Amino acid sequence: MWFEQFYSGIITIGFVAGACYMSYPFNKWDVGRAFRRNYCTTRRVELSKRDHRLTGNQYVISGLESISDS
């Protein structure tokens, strides 16, 4: 019947919402922020480009040790 479709819709919405919101506690626990990378400001975008230029990977956060002395 038509009402049987509600169950599958609710289950699907529940799994999708769980997948969307499940990363928040793990990111909070792992890196201390809600998101691993925050591109909300131009400064954050510049830092990401800097990390990509210095290390070759934008997901590897670079510090002072990645800048050569010469």
Residue 50, Cβ neighbours under 10 Å: how many? 14
pTM of the model: 0.45
pLDDT at 13: 94
Domain that holds residue 45: 37-64
SS3 (DSSP) at 8: helix
Establish if 5 belongs to a structural domain: yes
Q: How many residues does the chain have?
A: 70
What is the pLDDT, as a whole number, of residue 62?
Answer: 67
Q: Is 25 among the domain residues?
A: yes
The CB density around residue 25, as the number of other CB atoms within 10 Å, is 10
**CA angle 41–68–46, rounded 5-degree value:** 10
- Give a yes or no: residue 24 inside a domain: yes
Q: Per the domain annotation, does 6 fall within a domain? A: yes
Between CA 60 and CA 51 the distance in angstroms is 7
Q: Tell me, yes or no, whether 59 and 44 share the same domain.
A: yes
Residue 70: what pLDDT? 62
Q: Which amino acid is at 34?
A: A
Same-domain check for residues 2 and 23: yes
The total of structural domains in the chain comes to 2
Give, for all 70 residues of the chain, the pLDDT tens digit.
Answer: 777 788 888 999 999 999 888 888 888 888 888 877 777 788 888 888 888 888 788 777 667 776 777 6
